Each structure stands twice: as C-alpha cells, then as structure tokens.
Amino acid sequence: MRLGKTEIRLRVLLNYSLLSGLCIYLIITTSLNLATTLYPIIHHIPTQLADNTTGCNGHPEYCSRTYDNISQIGTHDSAFYGIMPSNDQNVDVTMQLNAGIRFLQAQTHRTAITKQLSMCHTSCAEDDAGPLEGYLITVKQWLDKHPNEVLTLLLTNGDYLDVGAFDEVFIRSGILKYAYIPSSTASPPPPSRRRRDDPASLPSPTPPTTPPPPTTTPPDPSVWPTLQQMITSSQRLVIFLDYGASPTSVPYILDEFTHFWETAFDVTTPFFPSCAIDRPSTISSTAAEIAAIEQRMYIVNHYLDTEVLGVAVPDRRDAGRTNAWDGEGGVGGHVGRCEMLHGGKKPRVVLVDYFDVGGWREVEGRLNGIQW
C-alpha cells in the first residue's frame, strides 16, 4: 500500500515535532541540572569543618549544654534543593551539613507504584527527591566522618503509615547505630488532624486511631543528656516523626508533639505576625492541657511562601530579608514576638528555606549567646 504525499508529509512533520520536543526537554533538563550543580560553586557557601578533638557541633560551649538548651537553625524540606520554583533549598543535604546545619526536616510519602517510602513534597507525583533509604544513607555517611556532631532529623508521615515502615528503612540504611533512645518513653497523644504538607484548601484526612494510654512514665524534658554525653555514647542522631510514632514499639523514633509544639507554617505574610501554638491543635484543649504544651520545646516556622498563579511556592526572592536577624520580616522580630507571648522562652528550632541566604550563622549565634 502506497502512502500519499500528504500523509508522508504529515508523518514527517509528526516525527520532526516529537524529535524537537525531545531535544527541547533534554536541553532544559541538562540546563537545570547544570545550574543546580554550578550554584554552590558560583555562590560560595562557607563550610564548618568538624573538629574531631574539641567542641560539640562546632562549639566547645555546647558540650555541657543539654540537647533541649540549644537553639538550632533547621532546613525546611531539606531534601528538595535546586533552582526550580518549588525547591526549598539551594544545595543538597551533604552541603547543608558541611555548612553547619544540624537539624534537617523533610517530608515523606509512599510512592504509588513501588510502595517505597520516598522524599516526596506534598505528593510523589508532584516532587519525588528519591527513596528515604538513600537520604538516610547520605546522612549516615556524613555522621561516619564527623564523630563530634549531633544531628536531628524531623520527618513527616504524610500518609499516616505505621511506624514499622520507617523502622524497616532505618534498619536497612545502617544509620540505626547512631539513633538516640531516651531513658523513658511514652505513647504519643492523639495527633492533630492538620499535617505540615496538607494544602489548607483541602479537607483534613481521617486521623489514625487514638493510641492507648501511656504504659510508661512520660519523658521529662529535664532528662535530655548533654551533647557531650550523646557524642560519648554515640547516640548522635535524634529522630522525630510528626504522626504515627510509637515509642513503646520503636523507641528511637520520637513523637514530635510530645516534645515540641509549632507555630503556623506556609505563611504568606512577610512579617510573620503570629506566634500562637498551631500544632498540636489546642482548639478543644483545657487550660491545663495548653499549659502543659507550653512547657515543651517549640519550633518557629520562619519560611515565607508567595503565590504564583494561585499556587503557593517558596519566596526565593525575599530569602535574604526573611533569613536575616534584623529588619522587617527578619528572624529577630519573629523570635522576639514568640518570646514575649510565651514567657521569654526561646525557640529550640527555627526552620528556614534557602538557609545559605541571609546570615543564618549570626542568627543561630544570637539565639545561643555565642559567636561563630
């Protein structure tokens, strides 16, 4: 069967269009990867080389301080880096750690096809930064080389999976040997219905079944060890899970909201006006319950979003102003408002986007009364 000239032309045009589209895709992908690779070279990020003989987390002053008496700058969505509008960090986790970051936060979801736990932003269809196991292996390799460092990992459980799913991945990664296990654990309280990665416009998912009452003595905030004790015992990785933790069955995965409360997240108002307790929810709490929550450590979510075509994305343009200590919308003003509202108590974590922009070292130094 012979093809007519018109049909031949159409087929040639279709093939040409497909080939051109593929070439454009490859050019864009290559350019983005190249730009992501060149960013840390062009924009030099100072590194904090760990001293293997003195100091804890880079500072001798920290060695005698208990874990809950140190304020840290944490990288929000640490696994999602690059130059795309949805990326929250400029450089990868290893570079974040090399620069001095010691608190990593990241979102996890289970992929639809492979069913593996992955570093997914909101959903794996939207942004998948790879398996959780690979992320943990990267952190483990860094810990292997830096014996005087204490790290904290805060993971979200976006799909409300059983904590055993996380336990399996931690075991496979080999990082478990560094995990901190408190001397006293308890079952976590019922979780808030709102997750960090829930779009505000969507209905809240059905929460998991309320866990049984604690079977052991709840952890006392005063029993946190010093950083030197954690380093000496080689329990140098503190792991928190926002929902689904069961310290009685997996004691090294700690329930976030047993130990912390958080301010509002996904804020789009540049001066961060609120320092109220956002999670766990206190809507139906008694005065005594709210007072008990106030006694916990707290996390200030100091990262700014902006709307582009109706979609909230990290505000990269104003990161320098947002991450600075001074000025409108800076960390200093936000923290100051929180301290005034909560009896002078300092936050123990300030989560930021694009940590390398705006002088995070000065901010952490001021929070802890030290100089870098």
Tens digit of each residue's pLDDT (9 = 90 or more) over 197-233: 554 433 344 444 444 444 344 455 458 999 999 999 9
Say which residue, 20 or 271, is predicted with more confidence.
Answer: 271
Mean pLDDT, range 35-39, rounded to an integer = 55
Tell me which of 43, 44, 109, 121 is the catalytic residue.
121
Please report, as a single letter, which amino acid is at residue 6: T
Q: pLDDT-derived band of residue 52, with 50, 70 and 90 as boundaries? A: low
Task: Mention every residue, 6+ apart, whose C-beta is less than 8 A from residue 77.
Answer: 88, 89, 105, 106, 107, 121, 353
Residue 40 pLDDT grade (very low, low, confident, very high; cuts 50, 70, 90):
low
Q: Is the pLDDT of residue 155 over 60?
A: yes
User: Residue 131's pLDDT is what?
Assistant: 98
Name the active-site residue from 59, 76, 259, 302.
76
What pLDDT is attached to residue 93?
98
Residue 59 is a catalytic residue: no
Q: Looking at domain 48-368, does it have CATH number 3.30.1460.30?
A: no
Using pLDDT thresholds of 50, 70 and 90, give the confidence band for residue 5. low
Residue 237 pLDDT grade (very low, low, confident, very high; cuts 50, 70, 90): very high
- Average pLDDT on 335-352 reads 97
pLDDT at 166 over 50: yes
Reported confidence tier of residue 41, pLDDT bands at 50, 70, 90: low
- The structure's pTM equals 0.83
Q: Are 119 and 131 in contact (CB under 8 A)?
A: yes
pLDDT of residue 85: 92
Residue ranges per domain, the chain? Answer: 1-38, 48-368
Looking at residue 372, its pLDDT comes to 67
Q: Is 121 one of the catalytic residues?
A: yes
Q: How do residues 104-126 score in pLDDT, each as one tens digit? A: 999 999 999 999 999 999 899 88
Note the pLDDT of residue 341: 96
**Lowest-pLDDT choice from 69-73, 193-197, 287-291:** 193-197
Q: Kindly report the average pLDDT of the chain as a whole number.
A: 85
Query: Going by DSSP bridges, is the β-strand pair 72-75/349-352 parallel, antiparallel, or unpaired?
Result: parallel
Mean pLDDT calculated for residue range 59-85: 96
